[in-house]
Structure 1
Amino acid sequence: MQWATMFRKEMLESWRNKKWIWVPIVFIILAVMDPISTYYLPEIIQSAGGFPDGTVIELPDYAPAEIMMMSLSQYSTLGVLLVAFLAMNPIAGEKASGVSELILVKPVSYTNYITTKWASLIVLVGVSSTIGLFAGWYYTNILYGNLPFMTWAKGVLFYGLWFLLVISLAILFNTFVSKPGIVVFLTIVSVMLLSLLTQVIGHILTWSPGHLSTYVQELLRTNTISEKLLGTAFTSLALSILLVVLSVYSFRRKQNG
């Protein structure tokens, strides 16, 4: 009962802060930017001028799966940055302002306090990013050809585990420091290090979350869920749960220490 009440409070706060309006809009822009700009690139280049009359600019034919991966690549860069900024404040900001102390004066479970903030971020980012990718899928089907809906849906589901991991990392760093800017920095650095490590010894870390985008690309292209994708999904989910458990432990220790 307490958990549900606190979760509703977090969701209501997100609505009051207009996050349920601007976050989906940003994700939509990220998802449709590449499909639309790539399709109209020849016209854009020609309108810029500087070419002889009769010049024909031809671009390679892109498969629908390749176009969707362009949207996901935007999510992997700017999307991760957006998620880090969204997740920088829920605990660190309340610690800095003293709000968390006022809340925890009441008989509030540390586990409930951490997990409701984690879950509310997952819902906000999950719904918003899915709306964005749906817009990207819509324009992909119109401009480039058909990508089966179920193939798209499976790709979105598996890729969402990457955002889940980023949110879990940010929540953990929220319990370490009270400055939101440092939370963003630590989250981005951790994601970069994970990606770099995966590139360097990816042949060993075949189930590393850093491989998610690569395996999702294979899924979109072949409509086949590989064993490596399932293993990577399991690793990502397990790491996310472990990070949340560590977050509760760290927060409890900080409050009682």
Structure 2
Amino acid sequence: MNNFAVLAKKEFVQMVREFKVIWLPLVFIFLGITQPVVSYYLPSILEALGGGQGITIDPSMAAQKGGEVLASTLGSQFDQLGIMIIIVSMMGVVQSDKANGMLAFILTRPVTVGSYISGKIISNYLFVACSVALGYLVSYLYVVFLFTSVDFGDLIVALLFYLLWILFIVSFTTMISTIFNSQGIIALISIVFLLGCRIIVGLSPVIDNVNPASMSKHAMEVLILGTVNSQAVWGALAALAWTAVTILITNIWISKKKFNNE
């Protein structure tokens, strides 16, 4: 446990040095603010730009419910630009240790591979989760101010569902960062795969039951409908199972010292 604490502290120190503790929360705060503000003022902006000629303003746009706007924050902001930003912030999480020899150095000490991986994933997940939650709560405040209130219970349940999806994003990016040596390749593979998972959500109930990205859809449904889909349990189990698989692959890859292969 002492090794884990030291490694986790190393990760947090690295985040401070890279100013990640500043810019990542600010990015998610900005994304959280963008959706409710744009949704509220878009009809006025279109009317002003169009001068009333050739543009029809749907009155229902200004009458959206708070839950719908908050759900669109998750679906339109966090699940698109937000995912890419998380990946870019994490693409060197293991790759940089491989490149500068720190990984080989750490593993020559009395440190288990499990402690190294858990230190990486847990510390980065806690930080990313806090950043996402901060942006989500700021979006909630704007939604309540500009639209209608959202049930607090639904707010929390939706956040917990969404953070399961974030957990998979963090573990998958860590795995890809372990396997590949180029940050560009790491970012490309992670972005294509994770956005692909999000795009296929809703195509088939069977796929959704094994797709960790379905937790984002379930989170949105809670905010919009105020109820929890019975299939959310399968989505949660799938997210946890796939997270465990990525951690296992990362452990095996490092244990076999494939990180030395160029």
Tell me, yes or no, whether TM beats 0.5. Answer: yes
Aligned 8 A contact 1:93 1:179 in 2: no
Q: Which of 172, 177, 183 is equivalent to 1:180?
A: 183
Q: Which residue identity does 2:159 align to in structure 1?
A: V
Structure 1 vs Structure 2 CA RMSD: 2.1
Q: Which residue identity does 1:24 align to in structure 2?
A: P
Post-superposition CA distance 1:162-216 (Å, at most 9, x none): 111111111111121111111111111222343455454x232241223222222
Indicate yes or no: 2:209 matched with 1:210: no
In structure 1, the residue corresponding to 2:207 is in which secondary structure? coil
1:70 is aligned to: 72
Change (3 A) 1:242 1:146: same
Aligned 8 A contact 2:201 2:217 in 1: no
Indicate yes or no: 2:120 matched with 1:153: no
In structure 2, the residue corresponding to 1:40 is in which secondary structure? helix
Task: Report deviation, 1:49.
Answer: 5.6
2:7 is aligned to: 6
Post-superposition CA distance 1:19-40 (Å, at most 9, x none): 1111111001111101101111
Query: TM-score when scaled to structure 2?
Result: 0.89
Q: Which of 89, 104, 110 is equivalent to 2:113?
A: 110
Task: Report deviation, 1:232.
Answer: 0.5
Task: Report deviation, 1:17.
Answer: 1.9
2:35 is aligned to: 34
Indicate yes or no: 2:132 matched with 1:129: yes
Indicate yes or no: 2:170 matched with 1:167: yes
Q: Which residue identity does 1:126 align to in structure 2?
A: A
Q: Which residue identity does 1:13 align to in structure 2?
A: Q
- Where do 5+ consecutive residues of structure 1 fail to align? none
Aligned 8 A contact 1:96 1:179 in 2: no
Q: Which residue identity does 1:245 align to in structure 2?
A: L
Task: Report deviation, 1:97.
Answer: 2.2
Of 103-112 and 190-199, the range deviating more from structure 2: 190-199
Q: Which residue identity does 1:177 align to in structure 2?
A: F
Task: Report deviation, 1:98.
Answer: 2.0
Of 134-143 and 216-225, the range deviating more from structure 2: 216-225
Aligned 8 A contact 1:175 1:250 in 2: yes
Change (3 A) 1:228 1:49: closer
Indicate yes or no: 2:62 matched with 1:59: no
In structure 2, the residue corresponding to 1:126 is in which secondary structure? helix
Of 233-242 and 207-216, the range deviating more from structure 2: 207-216
Task: Report deviation, 1:120.
Answer: 1.3
Q: Which residue identity does 1:124 align to in structure 2?
A: F
Q: Which of 79, 82, 96 is equivalent to 2:85?
A: 82
Q: Which residue identity does 2:4 align to in structure 1?
A: W
Once residues 72 and 196 of structure 1 are traced to their aligned partners in structure 2, the CA distance between those partners, rounded to angstroms, is 14
Post-superposition CA distance 1:130-176 (Å, at most 9, x none): 00000000011111111012211110110111111111111111121
Once residues 126 and 7 of structure 1 are traced to their aligned partners in structure 2, the CA distance between those partners, rounded to angstroms, is 15
Once residues 154 and 226 of structure 1 are traced to their aligned partners in structure 2, the CA distance between those partners, rounded to angstroms, is 12
Runs of 4 or more above 6 Å deviation: none
Aligned 8 A contact 2:80 2:195 in 1: no
Of 100-109 and 12-21, the range deviating more from structure 2: 100-109
Change (3 A) 1:176 1:219: same
In structure 1, the residue corresponding to 2:174 is in which secondary structure? helix
In structure 1, the residue corresponding to 2:33 is in which secondary structure? helix
- Where do 5+ consecutive residues of structure 2 fail to align? none
Of 125-134 and 85-94, the range deviating more from structure 2: 85-94
Change (3 A) 1:203 1:230: closer
Aligned 8 A contact 2:178 2:259 in 1: no
Once residues 217 and 259 of structure 2 are traced to their aligned partners in structure 1, the CA distance between those partners, rounded to angstroms, is 41
Once residues 194 and 222 of structure 1 are traced to their aligned partners in structure 2, the CA distance between those partners, rounded to angstroms, is 23
